[in-house]
Each structure stands twice: as C-alpha cells, then as structure tokens.
Amino acid sequence: MTDAQKLLEEGERKLNEFDFKSAYKKFEKAIKKEESAPAYFGRAEAALGLPEIDTEDIIEDYEKAIEIQDDPFYRQAVASFCVDIGKFEKAEKHYRKAAELDPDNRAEYLSEFAVGYRFKAPIMMQKFLAQGGEEIILRKALNYMLEAMDIDREKAVELLK
C-alpha cells in the first residue's frame, strides 16, 4: 500500500468520524503524494463540513475528481451540492451526465434534480418569483420529473384526467 493510499484510508476514517478538518488535511496530503479522483473527491466531501472553504473550491475539487475519473457517483455529489448553493445550470449538467453514464439509474438522477430544483430554486431566486417565475420553476421541475418517469406531456395529461 502506497503512502497516498494510506492517507486516503485515514481521510475516509476521519470523514466517518465527522472530523472534517483532519480529513481535509489527509486528503490534501494524499493529493500532494499522488493526484487521484478519490483524493479530490474526499477533499471536496471533507470541505462540506468546513465553512471557511469557498464553494468554488469545493466544486473545483469535485470536478477535478471527475476529470480524472468520470464517475456517476461523483457527478451526483457535485450536482446535489450545486443545487444546495443555487448553481442550477451546473447541477443540471452534472445530473444529465450522471444519467448518461449510468442509464440504469437515469430516473433517480433526473428526479433528484426535479425535486431539488422545485424546492431550492424558489428560495434561491426570490426576485424571480415576484416576476411570475414560480410557474417557470414548477414547469421545469415537472418536465424533469416526467422525463425521469419516461412520460411525455400528453400522456401525463391523459393520466391525470
């Protein structure tokens, strides 16, 4: 086992103990020894528990992990984080790519985006709501849910009658 692998294991252990600061340091050291997708992903996950880490740095680590190893799990994690911070276009891109990489779980990715968007977008876009944006948000979320269910609009209307 290499030094980098040992650091990764230690980082994972610290993450499981919710010791985010120690985990972050372990993943950072692992990256210095040997850049790897799990190291960047681990550092991003640890950073979620550290308010002093900038959200753009977290996204950068997730995306570096994806650059090294394009994995639907990594894509789903960054997409979920992007929904939480209101970066909906980036979230949509990552959910769609996760669905492409893992077609067996396509519905899960698309429905997760639909629900996240439906409940987070109104919070993040207060000004937009005042201009009639709520319908646009609902429409987009509903379209994603229909896509996840593999149902077109006409079929949905028919089923709801």
Instruction: Give the pLDDT score at 1.
Output: 72
φ, ψ at 70 (rounded to 5°): -75, 105
* Domain ranges across the chain: 1-69, 86-161
Per-residue pLDDT at 146 exceeds 90: no
pTM of the entire predicted model: 0.87
Distance CA 122, CA 96 (A): 21
Question: Each residue of 53-89: pLDDT tens digit?
Answer: 999 999 999 999 999 999 999 999 999 999 999 999 9
Residue count of the chain: 161
pLDDT at 14: 97
Contact 36, 21 (CB under 8 A): no
Q: What is the pLDDT of residue 130?
A: 61
CATH architecture classification, 1-69 = Alpha Horseshoe (1.25)
